[in-house]
Amino acid sequence: MEALDRWRHMRSAPRDGSRILVTIRATEQGPGAVDLAYWSKGDQYGGEAWRSSDSAPGRIIEYAEPELKCWMPLPSAELDSLAFPAPWKGKDDEELDGSGI
């Protein structure tokens, strides 16, 4: 069975509107962070993009593909693990999903 609590490449993230955790890359505005996001197919408020779950009509928080490093499914609702995991701190060229062989 696949471990659900590990970071994965964004290319494998679901684009069906389900909520996932994402690592946002560090920038000059601040360090990397974790956010709850979903893929939006686009609507009257914006085009296809990753959106923060904090978004609301007229106040859309969108992420461009390069802003997001990796993703993880939402953890189960166990009372002992209700905190976000730490953001991915590895180098960009490190493997997240294994060697792919």
- pLDDT per residue over 31-44, tens digit each? 989 999 999 987 77
Contact 60, 46 (CB under 8 A): yes
In the numeric block, which tokens belong to residue 39?
């893929």
- pLDDT per residue over 21-77, tens digit each? 999 999 888 898 999 999 998 777 777 899 998 877 778 889 998 999 999 998 776
- pLDDT per residue over 2-24, tens digit each? 556 789 999 999 999 999 999 99
Alpha carbon distance, N-terminus to C-terminus of the chain: 18
Q: Which of the 8 DSSP states describes residue 81? A: G
Average pLDDT over residues 74-86: 69
Q: Identify the CA nearest to 64 among candidates 77, 74, 80, 49.
A: 49
pLDDT at 1: 40
For the chain, the average pLDDT equals 82
What is the helix (H) or strand (E) element at residue 51, kind and residue range?
Answer: strand 49-52
